[in-house]
Each structure stands twice: as structure tokens, then as C-alpha cells.
Structure 1
Amino acid sequence: MTKPQEKNSGSTQGPFCVWSGIGFTNFVKLMRLRPTIRWSGLGRLISSGFLSLSNSFFSLLENLIYSRKVKKTQLESPVFIIGHWRSGTTLLHNLMSKDDQFIYPNMGAMLFPSHFLLTERVLKHVVKHLIPKQRPMDNMPVTWDLPQEDETSIMLLHLMSPYLTITFSDQPEVYDRYYELNQLTPRETSIWKKTFLYFMKKLTYKAGANKHVLLKSPTHTFRIPFLLE
């Protein structure tokens, strides 16, 4: 009996990577942590370095235009989907996002959290051709408008995230203290909270209505006491 041929899903990371949305200051901080650099990822690393300059420029421009309006935005109580990786939280996130009372970070907010208010309308038509059709780890579909994890956005904004394991998989000491967040210094705690609140306000401002922000990141499961504050 002939063994059926397995279909190649075609899932590849493509020319784009998560660090393509990082700002220049954070890119320098990232390099100072001395990540292990492999030849296969060198091109993406170099392109991320160049893109970090444009990300910082657009971030500055967005702040000049929108920051006052965003800061005045009223934030409704957010809703967090809590659960371990591979436990069905992505499916639940996708289903709940269909309810009009919720708003959520899409691909633009996830990849370019520092300037999506300013640039998303243009970048959407460029970047959607560069991202894979499916997630490499589980073949879930990837489209611009599907809800995405806010943890990636937060990581790009201040690097205080266990998702640093993307680059430091063999250096857990770099990211271990960013799970529960109870080991942060007072200054780090303040930065983390302010960044998170501002990001949610940006999502609310973009929606043009006071709706509940719907967030799903398995890492929030470790931080329930912190989030309740």
C-alpha cells in the first residue's frame, strides 16, 4: 500500500520577524543582552536593526499627533482570557472577538505597537504579503484582522517579557523574572504598568468607542494578582 504523501503546509516565518517592530533604543538594549546569533537569522536581525530606526521615527510622530487624545481616553474594564499554552485560548479569543462589545489587538497593533495608530492603514497593505499564511507552531491561520497576543506588543515596547525566549531560548536568566512580575524593581513596575495601560488606551481610541479590551496571552496566567491591581 502506498503511503499517502504529507502535504507541506508552507508555513514559514518569511522575511518578517517579531523584532521588525522594535524601536531603536530597545534594539540596542536587546543587543546588549548578547543574544545567540545564528547565520540563519542574521538577515532578519540586520533588517530589524534598520527598521528600528523607522519605528522610532514613526513612534515619535504618532506621540506628537495622538498622545494627548490617547491619555484622555476612558478605559473600560479589560477582559483577560487565562490559560496555558495549547489549551484552546486562541480559539476562545477568536470566538469572543466576534462579540461587538470587545476590541482587541490585531496584527498591526501586535507588530507595530508604538505607531499603529499612525501607520496601520498603509502598513496593512505591505506587511500582509510578507507574513506567513499560518503560524509555524500549530498551523493556525494568520490574517491581519484576527486577534493577536498583547504580550508580543508589550515585549516590543519595553522588553520586560518572558517572550524574550524567542531570542534567548538558552538563557532563561534573561526572562525568568518577567512571568509573575513580582521581582521587578519599583521603576520597572511603573514602566510596565504605564506601558500596558497606554497600549490598551490606544486600542480603545482606535475603536472610537468605549468597549472592553479583550486580551489573550498565556503569560497573564502567571500574573493574576498583578493584573488585579
Structure 2
Amino acid sequence: MASGFPWHRVFHPLCGADPLTLAELVVRRGPPSWRGMPAYGVALATALARVPFTLADRVVARRREVRPPVFIVGHPRSGTTHLHNIMAASGAFGTVPPVTATLPWESRTMAPLIRPFIDPFLPETRLIDSVELSPDAPTEDEVGLANLGGLSYFHAIYFPSRFARDYRDGLLGEGPERRVAARRRAIRRYVGAMAGQCGEPLLLKNPAYTATPEMLLELFPGARIVHIRRDPRDVFASTRRMLRRVLGELALQDIGGVDVEAAILETYPRVMARWDAARERVPAAQVAEVAFEEVVEAPEAVLTRLWEALDLPGGAAEMERMRAYLDSVSGYRPSENRLSGEETALLARVWPRQMAGYGAAAGE
């Protein structure tokens, strides 16, 4: 019973944040605009009302060893969601549904209780595109991490007064030592909580992990990482469209001064350079790379290669489930990402290494 009403404008994703995170966002980035004030007020009221469940969650939580997860990484709009959905369809992994991801502070207590009441009102497709969104759809970690506080590129979207800096720092994992340490604690907490609720090994995806794969392996030795790349031209066009869309829907401050293109142009090559440098230091048995275009054209070959390279759980039955999922979405067509000649020339000039790596500099 999906509803066409834009509930996210009333019940903002920050409705899963704690009061301290909500307060810190205002202290660091300024107050919401008049337009954003109602949604912020609802989020704050929700955070205060959830306090008994937050405390109860801490009581029932117990430290436990987490089986090494499988992480899917890649710059935003590189195809991480598509690959996540395919691999999740295997049934070989635990995945985190939308409501549980949004409530990381109460994933063990409140989330199971309210899911039956919220799931029917989830939209049928994602806010940013026409990809199906079901109550059990695997969800990006950053949804929950943004609500746990610390560094998050989602905060640049919610409170865009310092958009370029927060977007860059969130995707690179940079910032004051205190905030970087808080980010590490948030990731450990999130993964531990979700492993207890959603099954193991977890299959997780987050573009914000792309620049910090070594941190993931420090936190979760034995984890495996899948990196997906995409033509930089498509990444630029799709990220630009995505950011404009989500800023218009989820920003709680005025977005008039936000330069989306400049932020993408600066951040993308830095994220990719970080990945390329770190990838050489990650054990070969724990990392694999795929191209989005190959996933689209020859998905079964890509999946077979991934399962063999990373020794992933499952076999013929899991492959058959993924094949059935691929058949179910065979009619989906992503939005066209057309750039002008001037825009392509700009990318060739500011992203020479990434463009050349895809044969894009010569217009191939």
C-alpha cells in the first residue's frame, strides 16, 4: 500500500537521529530555514520520544564477534545499488531493510515494532530514480551512519550551508581526529547492531567507504570488498542529477548558494585516487573490482568471477536466485546521461587520469 504522499518532507530521514546529532548539526552548520524548520522539529520531537527505546537498546545490546561482512564500494552513482540488489537476491547474505537502517539507535527494540506500520507507506521507487524500493530492499549504510553522528556526506545534503566541504570530507573520511574517531565507532556500532538483527554475513554497500578500504579491514579483519567503477561521464551527469534532486527534497537549509558541479569536480578524482592507492595495500584475496558496464552487459560472468575470487558463500541455488532477479528487472532502463561537448571537454581537462582510464578522453 505505497503512498504517493511525500512523507519524507514530514518524516525526514533524520527522524532516526539522536538529539545530540541533531543539535550538533545546527551548531556546526546553522539553523534550518523556515521551510526546513517543520521537518527538523518533527525529527527532534521524534528523537526525544525515542529516548526510552534508545536506552533499552543499550541494555539489550551485547558485544559479539561479527562475521566478516562483504562491502560494496564505489563513488556515488557508479552502480553500487544495482550490484547490491543483485548480490542480495542470492539469499546468501544478511541485508538491512530501510526502516531498520534509519533507526540505528533502536534497531533491536523500536525498529522491529514499528516496521509493520511504516513499511506499507514506503514509496514504490527510490527518491532519486525509478529503482524499486520494497520494505526489504537492501539499504545503504550511510542512511544509518548519518543518524549516528560524526562524518557523513549525507549531512552536506541535509544541512548544505557548507556543502562543498562536508560533501568532500564525508566521502574522503577526513576531518578533525575527534570526528574521524566518532565515524569509526559509528561504523562498528552500526555493523554490530545490524549483524544481530539482519543475519550474517552482512552484505553492505556505501559509496562513503570507497576512500577508506583499509579502515574497513582494520575494523573487520577478514572482510571482503567489491569495488565498482563506471564511465566518469556517466558518474558526473548522474551524480549531478541525484544531488540536485535530493537537495530539493531533503535539504533543511536554503540551497541557493550550493555549487553541485564544483563539489563533484573536486571530490571525484580524490576519491578515486584514494581508492587506487589503498587498493594496492589490500590483500588480493579480499578485494575485487568490476565495471558497471560489464555488470549490465554480462552480469552472470561478473557474478561468477566475484564468487570465485572472493570465495563468497553459496553455489548453484544462489546463482539461480540472482538470475531470477535479473530477469525481473530486465525491463529497467537507467536515465540517459548526456553531456554537452563543452562538459565532456571539461571532464577531460580536470579528470584526465580517470577519463583516460575509461577511454573517455578520446571520446570512445
2: CA distance, partners of 1:180 / 1:97: 26
- Give the structure 2 partner of residue 181 of structure 1: 173
1:59-74 to 2 correspondence within 5 Å? 59-64=54-59, 66-68=60-62, 71=63, 73-74=64-65
- Give the structure 1 partner of residue 13 of structure 2: 18
Q: Say which SS state the counterpart of residue 204 (structure 2) adopts.
A: strand
- Give the structure 1 partner of residue 142 of structure 2: 151
Does residue 38 of structure 2 align to residue 43 of structure 1?
A: yes
Q: Count residues in correspondence.
A: 214
Match of 1:28 among 23, 26, 29: 23
Q: 1 or 2 for the larger relative contact order (CA 8 Å, sep ≥6)?
A: 1
Distance 1:222 1:54, change over 3 A: same
Aligned partner letter, 1:28: A
Does residue 51 of structure 2 align to residue 56 of structure 1?
A: yes
Higher helix share: 2
* 1:71-112 CA-partner distances (Å, limit 9, x unpaired): 0x2211111112222222111111111233311221122110
In the alignment, structure 2 segments of 5+ residues that lack a partner are 219-364
Q: Say which SS state the counterpart of residue 36 (structure 2) adopts.
A: helix
1:94-133 to 2 correspondence within 5 Å? 94-133=85-124
Q: Does the Cα contact within 8 Å between 1:133 and 1:141 map onto a contact in 2?
A: yes
Match of 1:75 among 46, 55, 66: 66
What RMSD in Å do the two structures reach over aligned CA positions?
2.3
2: CA distance, partners of 1:176 / 1:155: 15
2: CA distance, partners of 1:124 / 1:99: 23
Q: Percent identity?
A: 23
Q: Say which SS state the counterpart of residue 191 (structure 1) adopts.
A: helix
Alpha-carbon shift at residue 218 of structure 1 (Å): 1.3
Q: Say which SS state the counterpart of residue 59 (structure 1) adopts.
A: helix
Give the TM-score, by structure 2 length: 0.54
Alpha-carbon shift at residue 174 of structure 1 (Å): 4.0
Aligned partner letter, 2:211: F
Distance 1:29 1:170, change over 3 A: closer
* 1:122-170 CA-partner distances (Å, limit 9, x unpaired): 2112222443332221122222211001012111112311111122334
- Give the structure 2 partner of residue 217 of structure 1: 206
- Give the structure 1 partner of residue 331 of structure 2: none
Query: Bigger radius of gyration, 1 or 2?
Result: 2
- Give the structure 2 partner of residue 86 of structure 1: 77
Give the TM-score, by structure 1 length: 0.82
Alpha-carbon shift at residue 176 of structure 1 (Å): 3.2
